[in-house]
Chains A and B, each alone.
Chain A
Amino acid sequence: MKKFSICFISFFFLFFMSMVNFMMMIYFIMNNMVIFLEWEVITLNSVSVVMSILLDWMSLLFMMFVLLISSVVIYYSKSYMSSELNLNRFIILVLLFVFSMILLIISPNIVSILLGWDGLGLVSYCLVIYYQNFKSYNAGMLTALSNRVGDVFILMVISWMLNYGSWNYIFYLMFMKNDYEMYMISSLIIIAAMTKSAQIPFSSWLPAAMAAPTPVSALVHSSTLVTAGVYLLIRFNLLLIDMLFLKILLLLSGLTMFMAGISANYEFDLKKIIALSTLSQLGLMMSILSMGMPDLAFFHLLTHAMFKALLFMCAGVIIHMMNDTQDIRLMGGISNYIPMTSLCMNISNLALCGIPFLAGFYSKDLILEMVSLSNLNLLIYYIYYLSTGLTMFYTIRLIMYLMVNDYNLMSIYNLYDEDYTMLKSMMVLLFMSVISGSMLSWMIFLNPYMIYLPLNMKMMVVYVSLLGGFIGYFVSNMMIYSMNKFLMTYNISSFLCLMWFMPSLSTYGLNYYFLKLGQNLLKYIDLGWSELYSGQGMYYILKNYSIFYNFYQVNNFKIYLFSFVMWMMILYYFMLMKF
């Protein structure tokens, strides 16, 4: 009975579905087939709200990757979360997440995409606040609210698309391209995608979301949720070409890539380093997307999903063994103790750097060569190559800290490499992060890219990678007294290592004003003027008048008598006047 735990059943089911999707994808791509299903919810004024499903090779391939990663992640969490009391809740949440991701992938309709889009936000919120501590509380709130911005923009897109009488956006991408409303729609869509994919004004949530359990980070915050924005823009790409906003997106995503690369070098938290590298790769995808090459972005999205999930899973194993310590300064020399995990870690790290013939090489090298080939300004070009160097920089630094130096945590320790549940699930992804690049490049690029570069430009990737790698090596060997030299550049260092102050700005920088406004409104309007001019004010006025009249009525008998006489005299006077 123990064998058929919820983890195993979900693993089996998801893996099976993934393989089915794979077969279907091959069939679809061979026959150039698309299936489009529509189910009408309601028609109002001849506008149909429909739930639609689009199955083409792109959605099937993405689904295959999502299902594969989620299946192994669930299998992995059987061991990783084995001491968790509410394992069922955890697995059900992950399954719900996969479900909403699939709904997002298959729907080409802006109303029905909301089903997946909102679902991702809510379920990922539940997963981030899974642990019951303050850090996860704050991180969850930041994640959910940043993602909610995207939901709101999608809602606004829905209302703008009412102009066209249908929400199946794929029909309007070419046809309505020069329409004014379409400019509005595409800018809103870009902002929505930027929130989900954590581009620059909204990037603070991605490193914060590392408060989630590590399997969640492997599935949600590296390979699937964060790529939802990229995927949406890939679907919308026909619309976006030649737009001004896309140029802005290019700059912002390039800066995201650069910023994340630099911050990762200052970071000492193992999961945060990987999260920042995810952010950097997301910037790469977004930027190549905004240069008008959606297929390259999709390619990198898929290969990146594989090796990044693997990287997170290795990090999870290491964190488990280090008594839940995540600080890389306390790790070191683990390749002597856990060779298999170190192997996976290194392969995924190198695939991230784009070392030839691993998964990352095919996509990243192609992207960078296409960047060199296209007509760009120097700033963007520098940002691309500096970020590539920075990737190598933080990767080598991480490898040095983890694998080479001495073990620093405690004098008594127990590292073991025999957790086969975790290792087996990592093997699947290890295999995929070696082969997926070549496999995909043969499968989805029917006509090859023609690249024509001078030698130095061609070798530029190698130059910056080697340079970054050397710097990373030297930085990891830095002594404490040279670390202290950073104090000389305290301002710029804190600017760079705190992600350009984005986490502070998007939390303390914003919420104070809104909370203060809310408090003032409550104090001055609800408990102030509104009460004064309705309930309480009316009460006081009536009360005072009744006291006032009461004052005249509670008197001596003599005064009544006197006033009676007075009134009689006045009446008599008037009577005399009349006659």
Chain B
Amino acid sequence: MMKFMFMIIFMIPLCFKKNMFWLVQNLMMLMMFMFMNLNISIYYNTNLSYMFSCDIMSFGLILLSIWICMLMLMASENLLKMGFYVNFFLLNMLFMLLMLYLTFSMMNLFMFYLFFEGSLIPTLLLIVGWGYQPERIQAGMYLLFYTLFASLPLLMGIFYIFNKSNNIMFYFLKFMSFDFYLLYFSMILAFLVKMPMYFVHLWLPKAHVEAPVSGSMILAGIMLKLGGYGLLRILILLEKLSLKLNFIWIIISLVGGFYISLKCFCQVDMKSLIAYSSVCHMGVVIGGIMTLNYWGFMGSYLLMIGHGLCSSGMFCLANINFERLNSRSLYINKGMMNFMPSMSLWWFLLMSSNMAAPPSLNLMGEISLINSLMSWSWLSMIMLMLISFFSAGYSLYLYSYTQHGKYYSGLYSFYTGVSREYLLLMLHWLPLNLMILKVDWVMIWF
């Protein structure tokens, strides 16, 4: 495990030389394939060294984060072309990858917390450094303070657990149980804000709207998954209170998911729409985790992987349009099928994956989450039906508004898709839809 950390660290000097953009990208891809060959056991943590370990869940999420970081570099070629602090960008990206890698590979709850918070810094730098409008300062503040506000109690909770039981290793958490309300809320809330749950989701659309494409991709692809990862790890500690109190989060997330999907219809900003759709999907994930049953845990992990690939691809598409039209408004991004018919295919494929069409991972994840929520209470059927229906609705709204009909008549010049972009989208879509053939690899994690 440590060798990958050192690989990332020793890639850092490359950032200080010129023209290392694609080398770093290729090295990340190489690292991804090296990591893929790691020996993983389904049942136990493997590859133990110091605080590092790896089981199936952290394995999948590390793979996803290396993959997304690599794709982020591919997506932000515009920075390279304009020479917009490319070296700093690369450094930031490697720092972020390092943080994410460490977050997912830590066995220790405190070290997990440390890197969980540490990953905020490169994200913040991405948003305020490479964002577009002056509002990005506020967006960065929202991102930082929403997360920090809820995660300082988490730190206290970790100290409390360590004080009581002298142990904060993930593996041993299953042998402990705490029946303490304040601890429950302090442990859960940080992750719920990170997910984000409805009512505390406000930072996400703001951050997405202001972030550059790489920031949006990492936010949707990995940052939201940090919350889910934390919840899946931590809930085993809080079983007793979870059985009593989890219904609160399920209700908020399901009703919130429905509300959010209605709000998507009022969005005219493509990125904002995709961000809201992530909130909707993450609502279902929270619901699945909080039911505490096997289908829910498996399905939420699977949907996190699927959603990471899918929404990141959607943000890429939004950015591809933005680079050509210099606007994310749906009133201007119209009739793209006339200009980029091949890109329209990718829009359709990723849009259909977003609305959980077969054979994507999202469908499998959604099926298992629906199973878990329905076995929790059949009354959740109503909200699940509404969420499922309206998520199809806003996906189609986004697709047809951007692709169908006349194009914006104020358009002055245009260029069609380049092969880098097609490759980028294919690298999002292929794992999303082909991994269904070996879905237990990204689904069964304990």
Contacts and interface: CB of A to CB of B under 8 A. Distances in A.
Interface of A: 41-45, 49, 86, 89, 111, 114-115, 118-119, 122, 125-126, 129, 132-134, 137, 140-141, 144-145, 148-149, 151-153, 155-156, 158-160, 162, 514-515, 517-519, 521-522, 525-526, 530-531, 534-535
Interface in B256-284: 259, 262-266
A526 B202 contact: yes
Interface in B52-87: none
A521 B263 contact: yes
B262 A119 contact: no
Interface in B362-410: 363-364, 366-368, 370-371, 373-375, 381, 384-385, 388-390, 392-393, 396-397, 400, 404-406
A366 B436 CA distance: 46
A144 B400 CA distance: 11
Contact of B265 (A119, A515, A534): A515
A144 B351 CA distance: 13
Nearest to A39: B437
Nearest to B403: A129
30 contacts: A41-B437, A41-B439, A42-B440, A44-B294, A44-B295, A44-B444, A49-B364, A86-B341, A111-B367, A114-B358, A115-B359, A119-B358, A122-B348, A132-B335, A132-B404, A132-B406, A141-B396, A141-B397, A145-B389, A151-B392, A152-B389, A155-B370, A156-B384, A156-B385, A159-B381, A518-B263, A518-B266, A519-B266, A526-B263, A535-B202
Contacts of A159: 367, 370-371, 373-375, 381
B146 interface: yes
Given A45-B295, A132-B337, A149-B389, A155 B357 contact: no
Contacts of A522: 263, 266
Contacts of A49: 364, 367, 439
B233 to A, nearest CB: 20
B348 A126 contact: yes
Given A111-B367, A149-B389, A156-B370, A118 B405 contact: no
A534 B400 contact: no
B367 A155 contact: yes
Given A115-B358, A148-B392, A530-B199, 8 more contacts: A132-B337, A132-B404, A132-B406, A133-B405, A156-B384, A514-B265, A521-B259, A526-B202
Given A156-B381, A530-B202, A145 B294 contact: no
B317 interface: no
Interface string B347-362: 0100010000111000
B199 A125 contact: no
Contacts of A149: 389
Contact of B393 (A89, A111, A137, A148): A148
B248 interface: no
A84 to B, nearest CB: 13
Contacts of A531: 202
Residue from A118, A132, A144, A518 whose CB has the most chain B CB atoms within 10 Å: A518
B388 A155 contact: yes
Contacts of A156: 370, 374, 381, 384-385
Kindly name the residue among A43, A144, A149, A159 whose own CB sees the greatest number of chain B CB atoms within 10 A.
A159
B142 interface: yes
Q: Main SS of the interface on chain B?
A: helix
B298 interface: yes
Given A129-B400, A159-B371, A530-B199, A518 B265 contact: yes
A408 to B, nearest CB: 32
A518 B386 CA distance: 13
A158 B367 contact: yes
Contacts, number: 131
4 closest cross-chain pairs (CB), A and B = A518-B262, A159-B374, A115-B358, A148-B392
Contacts of A118: 357-358, 363
Contacts of A122: 348, 352, 357
Contacts of B359: 115
Interface string B76-112: 0000000000000000000000000000000000000
B197 to A, nearest CB: 12
Contacts of A141: 396-397, 400
Interface in B111-145: 142, 145
A514 B261 CA distance: 10
A160 B374 contact: yes
Nearest to B302: A42
Interface in B306-357: 335, 337-338, 341, 348, 352, 357
B392 A145 contact: yes
A86 B344 CA distance: 13
B200 interface: yes
A162 B371 contact: yes
A41 B199 contact: no
Contacts of B335: 132
Contacts of B425: none
B443 interface: yes
Contacts of A162: 295, 371, 374-375
Nearest to B206: A535
B206 to A, nearest CB: 8
A363 to B, nearest CB: 33
Contacts of A137: 400, 404-405
Contacts of B440: 42-43
B393 A145 contact: yes
Contacts of A526: 202, 263
B202 A145 contact: no
A228 B352 CA distance: 21
Nearest to A161: B371
B324 to A, nearest CB: 19
Contacts of A519: 266
B370 A158 contact: yes
Contact of A119 (B357, B375, B392): B357
Nearest to B439: A42
Nearest to A158: B367
Nearest to A517: B262
Contacts of B390: 514
Nearest to B205: A526
Contacts of B388: 151-152, 155
B374 A125 contact: no
B418 to A, nearest CB: 21
A132 to B, nearest CB: 5
A213 to B, nearest CB: 15
Interface string B420-446: 000000000000000011011001100
Nearest to B265: A518
A182 B400 CA distance: 38
Contacts of B263: 518, 521-522, 526
Given A125-B396, A145-B396, A534 B367 contact: no
B262 A521 contact: yes
A133 B406 CA distance: 8
Nearest to B358: A115
A124 B117 CA distance: 46
Contact of B341 (A89, A145, A521, A535): A89
Contacts of A119: 357-358
A125 B348 CA distance: 11
A129 B385 contact: no
Given A132-B338, A156-B381, A162-B374, A148 B404 contact: no
Nearest to A529: B199
A42 B400 CA distance: 34
Nearest to A184: B378
Nearest to A136: B404
A140 B348 contact: no
